[in-house]
Amino acid sequence: MSAETPGVPVAEDLFEQGADGVGLIGTRCAGCGAHYFPVSLSCRNPVCDDKRTVRTTLGRTGTLYSWTVQHYRPPALYRADEWEPYAVGLVEVPEGLRVLAKLIGRDTDALEVGMPVRLVTSPLYTDADGRRVDTYAYEITGDGIGAGGGSGSPGPASSTDGPRA
């Protein structure tokens, strides 16, 4: 699903694409180590007095924390040539964040908490100059950890199913 030739990012400074794949552009605080996405103007940590922020990339892989399927087309600010209900996921990434993103690579009714994902680009539309405009998305790369999903059996209430073993 990820495009082979790089398109134009839907927003500047959103993600970058290199030999080692796609990374989200964010900020790391040199003082307390907190990560932010998108780039932040400062550090939000109230106990951090340093607040020197440096640009970084993050979120190349993660696990699916939760998701929804949007059944109504979003307002016009969301521009896409194709429309059908699509999944929006919340992905836990190794940098201490959960990231909101479109999900691709799996039927929307086959999603499960804990599925491993990797960051890719995904085409949105072709602009007036004929350029393909891409956004970032997470592609499902494996199976989930079962449980929950209305089965009535409580799963583990945790944030430990991320990759930070």
User: Which parts of this chain interact with Zn ion (CB under 5 A)?
Assistant: 29, 31-32, 43, 45, 48
Q: Is 104 in the site for other proteins (CB under 8 A)?
A: no
- By C-alpha distance, which of 101, 76, 75 is closest to 86? 101
Q: Is 5 in the site for other proteins (CB under 8 A)?
A: no
Helix (H, G, I), strand (E, B) or coil at 131: coil
Q: In the bound complex, what is the minimum distance in angstroms from residue 134's beta carbon to other proteins? A: 10
Closer to other proteins by Cβ: residue 19 or 84? 84
- Please give the single-letter amino acid code of residue 12: E
Beta strand extents in 30-154 (DSSP E only): 35-36, 53-58, 61-70, 86-93, 97-104, 116-126, 132-140
Q: Is 138 in the site for other proteins (CB under 8 A)?
A: no
Whole-angstrom Cα distance, residue 72 to residue 54? 38
Contacts with other proteins by CB under 8 A lie at 10-14, 25-26, 36-41, 44-47, 65-72, 74-75, 77-80, 86, 88-90, 92-93, 96-102, 108, 113, 135-136, 147-157, 159, 162, 164
